[in-house]
Chain A
Amino acid sequence: MEGSSVFLLCLTASSGVPLYCRSKRSSRQLTFSVIGSLNGVHMFANNQDVLLTSTRTENSRVLWRTFHESINLIVMSCDSNASDHSLNRLLENVFSTMVLVIGLDDLMNIKNVERLKKDLRACYKLIDSFLTESEKIGDLTQCVDCVISNDSVILQECLDGFTQAAESEFGCLLIGGKVVVATEKWWRLASLDAMLLCWLVSSLSPHSSRDYPVYLPQGSPTVPHRLLTFQLVPGVDVCILCGPSPSLQKVELELVERFWKPVLDPVKSCLRLQLRSFPISLNLHQGILGFLLINRDLNKSLYTVQVHPFEDTQRSDIKCILEHRRASLRSFYTLTMLRYFSPEHHDGKIQYEEAFPEGFTHQAHQCYVVSSSHKCYATKTDLHFLFLLFKTNVPTFSMRAIANKTMQVFTKEFNF
């Protein structure tokens, strides 16, 4: 098995029939016997009244999850960056994707396996986008990735008007799957639902307009809604979530032009934000390579590993460097959240992972790591989490001050 390959298996829980198998960075598939044994041990344990959740070897991890006693998901990862936490999130996201596209009813009562297999093909693109790490981090945080625009006031006004005209309350403006602005109601969607919708739009091939039926895994897993998307300029889409009316044609012909034509320039300027996630005009400390800021209340996040884009473009191995930064920040996020910053709330849900922070009698507020490739710093306030990735030449003692300042900039000046 090659290093860093990931296999995702989906089977029916009752009969163990494979529904699909997706993989990342692997030239070959798992053999049928391996798939059979992986599912077999889980079923065997289940029969003995034991739920097998995870196993790790020195270089790989396997996780099992059963959803609604009808779908088994198994992930096997040889990626050294993976953690039980990230893989658990992956499985949750994958199942939610299936609900989003097919609806919970069809997944819980499987009548025709072949039919289901065919239906599930519609999920592949979104599932694959979860497997291949990208410029977004919503898969790990289950928050909505955002960008901050200088023109957000104008865009917000425009979006509010547009959404209202389209008889909906849920609307948002996306660039590459990241939210520029969204209506107030949109922020009140379950964070998983909102995240999935953004990822869905960015995973689908570009279309000028689209009318896509979606089930909201948290909000309405059995009743579909309509997701209307309109491409304003390539890379920028506006979406609304609505009921049976209005028709796609009506909105496309009557409303899109009317509302968005006047603000085309600000919309285009958003494209420049895609990688950096915040305006060029804002200067952060030179030592910061990347950061992740999470608003715990609205479940939105700001994420970038290219804080100083001009510096980076000159380097030849930029792709590799960025990937390394992403991996570091993700690992740091997982480490911090899992070990120190207590998990949000687990209301009666089964604990699939050890709750390490529960062993602490005091609350952890800040945390840092110095490794030979990067330095990382995390800080927690009542409303935000901030994770920073630094160059190694930044003095360790100065990280705290920089973190506080960065937090101030985004929370006070941009009201994130």
Chain B
Amino acid sequence: MERDRTTHEEEEDDGGGDWGSRSSSYTDCSSCCSSDLEPEWLESVQRNGELFYLELSEEEEETLLNSQGVNHVRFCENEAEMISGDVKKDKKTEPRFKKLAKILKNKHLGKKGSTRINSQARPTSILKHQPSQKTGMIVHQQYKDICLYVNPNRLLEIGPNEKLNLLQALIGIVHQSSRTSKLMERQGKCDAVHKWTSNEKLVIHGLIPESPAARSRQILIGDTLIAVNDVEVNAENIERVLSCIPGPMQVKLTFETSVYDAQIQPPRLNDEAQPSMNHLTKLIWGEEHASHLRVVQTIPHIAMYLTLRLESDTLKEEQEILYRYPVSEASQKLKNIRGLFLTLSDMLQNVSGSRIVSSSLILNKQLVHVSYWKESDRLFLISVPAERVSLLHLKNMTADLVRTIKFMYSSLDRAFCQAENVPRLDHFFSLVFQQAVRLSILNANPGHGPHYYDASSAHIVENLPGVRWLSLPEDVKMEIDTVLSDLEALDFAELSEDYYEMRRLYMILGTCLFYKGYLLANHLPKEDLLDIALYCRHYCLMSLASERIGQLVIWREVYPSFHLEKCGTPSKEEYSEPEARYFLLIVGMKHFMLCTLLEAGGCTSKAMGTPGPDYVYVDQLRATLLQLELLDASIEERLNASPNPCLSCADWFLPSAKDRFQSVVNSVMLNKTQTPKKTNFSLSRKSMTADSPSSLRTRRPSPSRSSRGSDHGSDGVMENTNITSHSTPELSRKIGRRESQGSGGSEGSGGSGSALKISKKRYTLPNPFNLGSLRRNLSEREAEDLYNTVKITSGTENTLFHYIYLETIQGVFIAPTHRDVEELGGSIHPQVIKNFHRCCMSIRSLFQQTLMEEKQSPSKADTCRDFTGLGPVKEHGILFECAPENWTDQKKTPPTMSYWAIGRLFLHPQPQEFYVCFHDSVTEVAVELAFKLSFGMPL
């Protein structure tokens, strides 16, 4: 106990707690890289054993370097001129620009009765001796000097009508005077010790993209610029000082960083999360994040954890607030009415006998929703304006947040009531709010690209109890499964128990593999998978992995509800979960991310204290990833394959300036008036081919076609891809040949049949999880084979725009890949997709109600009073109509295109949800048929 305290104090004395290490960690990691023995993330391991280490990929760094253009900036950082005569830090190293290691500081979770300090408590690795943490290296940093290369001849320009001052134009620092800065001050950005009485301080409110300041990556929002080349500056004289810079030169800027002086401020480190978080968000969202940050600051939002039980003897102010974020002016009003939340939650529970769910308020003429989560006498609530997050979404979001917090800290009480978690939670919630705001911003401006698709689908996709799944060819899938199984067996030399004759540290409960945010393989129970996916989503790892990871290592203790709940209840089953501790290890490399859930204490040795990541395991995971990387090509191939079921772009159904589309429209019109079967499929396919060469890309046929029906439907889907990618009119000859080739095996023709069928029925998605359906359909398909082969030459219309299919046994959902959507392009299409997802959110809210009722009363007594409104909703559809944008022809009324967004819920055998978006011209019979076929139900 004694020693524990001393180290703790030591750390405080180091100045500002471990947050000081944030800025020094860049430099630290450069030193550690010199030795091959120690992994570069070692320095980032925290006191409680947790690790969040992220490094950009090489390409990413290069693009960053290239983007600097002619301005070759020399970066150098003179560290630390300490006030109050502290230790002088003399490290003068070239800052490793490449390394953007981030530490999300967190102190250990309060192991009562542990008398050992962490380095001892950590179980020794089998292989190497882990060095103790270099606490001495962590130095509190009050001021930092940053040298920037500036060129007054090349001033930054943002827009013709926007005039920038020198601070913005030359260096790229945005400072907003007075009002905003006061806001910052309230947040405690400014050091309380130094009261600048005379002039307003130059607090950095934003960085201009591509500016020297932004590129340096060392200037943080919230820092205060106090000197330029040792000349003291403030808001008044800065322009004058800067105008004295004669020509291109290197200037030294001195900043006061936002690190607290621990001795003066109470250890409430709210704002400390901000800078470190800025890094993560900046990394993910690029320079946009500064503008997001600005928006976030102005909107009223709050996350609070309140207690209803008050200790009467200590009548402190605000004692009912156990946690809140953020501490900003915009959230002040929400904080002030906390009494209302408490009263309502208590009173309404007494009166109505049910838990409080949500409230709506009008605040500054803005509708603001509050969503609650009540557990015994504690109340967690989160509040966001309605225009940012719809109430439907907010309710689900709250449940997800609570789930993730419990996953990370075991319970809400443990998360919020321990002071050392505060900065970590601050970081967590600022990410949450920023994500929410970012989504609403992106959603407001329909555009293109994967970001937009992400944003428009996020509201529904984020709350689905499933993970985005990418079906793979059977052989690739098998390979992945084998590699993962090998890893899970932990049978390699170093880890085998015989090797060192001691029990191994951890057992791998299961792994799941993500590629660019898609789930490729999962060897975990569904609940664990969802827990991990939620964690990754909340820390933006999914979007990160879709772009660029050099190296990612995450290690932390977790509390998976699935195992812990089972363990808690003494069950009569033969097997009960051992009393164990669980750890999450995520290793990422390039586009791959491998998540592993480790168990300590079951058949393995008990975990003591707060163990850090063991690098035998990390190395092993990395080796596995390297092995998997070989499959990169085939996965990419799958991603590049034309979408299946094939998709159409909404714009093809509207006339545009281009002539070639005219015919498409004609045939659509014809279609609607006459027989919907005679169609423009060939035309739309042609235009698609013209647009995207990728649709001609072929996939190598998978050699193994299992009639097992494949547990994840990869073969059915993949075979289809194979053929549809050929099925352009020009290549119809090829099809015929393939047909004859394929006739040898029944599966072959079955596959092709289904492909043709799909193009006929537009959106048939073979049920990938139902063995029966595939088999059953086989004969049907064969029967229709001939018919279809004939059909394809004349072509058939493809009217499917988008779909989402959720399967709850596996906890996965399937939707078109980002690339599918991107390739379709179009100007109306993104809007269609956006509306579709918004509809899904609404449809799903009805389904959720149905599912809840189903859970409550499975055998519904059909009494008179028991009905509720619509009753259990099974299907819900909405028809939209749209006209082309920029319709110039005044004489004619613009043509319209109608499309359906439909959701269906299948309760049996297991809940499945299916959402589709398709053109109106589909006959009703075809819709019915497709739904039934796709789920293998008798017609």
Contacts and interface: CB of A to CB of B under 8 A. Distances in A.
Contacts of B868: 80-81, 327
Contacts of A60: 348, 351-352, 354
Interface string B857-877: 000000011011111111111
B307 to A, nearest CB: 18
Nearest to B900: A366
A50 B924 contact: no
Of the listed residues A330, A350, A354, the one surrounded by the most CB atoms of chain B closer than 10 A to its CB is A354
Contacts of A14: none
A332 interface: yes
Contacts of A353: 360, 367
A335 B339 CA distance: 33
B925 A340 contact: no
Given A340-B878, A354-B386, A331 B362 contact: no
A360 B835 contact: yes
Given A53-B360, A53-B361, A62-B348, A356 B340 contact: no
A219 interface: no
Contacts of A372: 871-872, 874
A62 B359 CA distance: 9
A305 B879 CA distance: 25
Given A1-B351, A361-B835, A369-B876, A397 B337 contact: no
Of the listed residues B357, B392, B832, B878, the one surrounded by the most CB atoms of chain A closer than 10 A to its CB is B878
A373 B865 contact: no
B457 to A, nearest CB: 14
B181 to A, nearest CB: 24
Contacts of B832: 362
Nearest to A369: B876
A45 B344 CA distance: 12
Of the listed residues A76, A339, A395, the one surrounded by the most CB atoms of chain B closer than 10 A to its CB is A339
B872 A368 contact: no
Given A59-B354, A350-B362, A397-B924, A44 B842 contact: no
Contacts of B353: 1, 59
B867 A373 contact: yes
A365 B898 contact: yes
B878 A364 contact: yes
Contacts of A207: none
Interface in B257-271: none
B391 interface: yes
Nearest to B356: A57
A364 B880 contact: yes
A398 interface: yes
Given A350-B362, A350-B365, A320 B864 contact: yes
B834 interface: yes
Interface in A46-64: 48-60, 62
A45 B361 contact: yes
Contacts of B850: 371
B337 A371 contact: no
B323 to A, nearest CB: 21
A41 B344 contact: yes
A362 B348 contact: no
A376 B870 contact: yes
B333 A50 contact: yes
B414 to A, nearest CB: 26
B337 A44 contact: yes
Contact of A53 (B355, B362, B870, B880): B362
Contacts of A340: 842, 878
Interface string A324-366: 1001101110010001100000000011111010011111111
Nearest to A37: B347
Interface in B17-37: none
Contacts of B340: 41, 44-45, 52
Contacts of A335: 846, 870
A71 B79 CA distance: 64
Contacts of B361: 45, 50-53
Contacts of A370: 873-876
Nearest to B845: A339
Nearest to A44: B340
Contacts of A24: none
Contact of B352 (A48, A78, A360, A397): A78
B406 interface: no
Nearest to A63: B360
B605 interface: no
A371 B924 contact: no
Given A34-B351, A362-B831, A368-B877, A3 B369 contact: no
Contacts of B846: 335, 369
Contacts of B352: 1, 57, 59-60, 78
A129 interface: no
Interface in B790-843: 831-832, 834-835, 838, 842
B668 to A, nearest CB: 17
B424 to A, nearest CB: 30
A373 B347 contact: no
B336 A48 contact: yes
A34 B347 contact: yes
Contact of A396 (B343, B355, B831, B928): B928
B411 interface: no
A373 B866 CA distance: 12
A140 to B, nearest CB: 13
Nearest to A38: B347
A53 to B, nearest CB: 5
Contact of A397 (B443, B870, B925): B925
A358 to B, nearest CB: 9
A323 B869 CA distance: 10
B882 interface: yes
B390 interface: yes
Nearest to B926: A397
A138 to B, nearest CB: 19
B881 interface: yes
Contacts of A398: 924
Interface string A281-314: 0000000000000000000000000000000000
A14 to B, nearest CB: 20
Given A52-B361, A363-B880, A365-B879, A57 B873 contact: no
Contacts of B928: 395-397
Contacts of B834: 361
Of the listed residues B333, B334, B877, the one surrounded by the most CB atoms of chain A closer than 10 A to its CB is B877
Interface in B559-587: none
A58 B848 CA distance: 13
A19 interface: no
B881 A58 contact: no
A397 B927 contact: yes
A203 interface: no
Interface in B889-915: 898
Contact of B343 (A37, A78, A84, A366): A37
A55 B880 contact: no
B358 interface: yes
A23 B351 CA distance: 15
B485 interface: no
B446 interface: yes
Nearest to A370: B875
Interface string B500-511: 000000000000
Given A80-B868, A362-B831, 17 more contacts: A41-B340, A48-B333, A52-B360, A56-B359, A57-B354, A317-B864, A327-B868, A327-B869, A331-B870, A350-B362, A361-B831, A361-B835, A366-B878, A370-B873, A370-B876, A371-B871, A373-B872
7 residue pairs, one from A and one from B, having the closest CB atoms: A397-B924, A331-B869, A373-B871, A58-B354, A320-B864, A366-B879, A370-B875
10 contacts: A1-B351, A50-B361, A50-B362, A57-B348, A84-B360, A327-B868, A367-B879, A369-B876, A395-B928, A397-B927
Interface of A: 1, 3-4, 30, 34, 37-38, 40-41, 44-45, 48-60, 62, 76, 78, 80-81, 84, 317, 320, 323-324, 327-328, 330-332, 335, 339-340, 350-354, 356, 359-374, 376, 395-398, 400
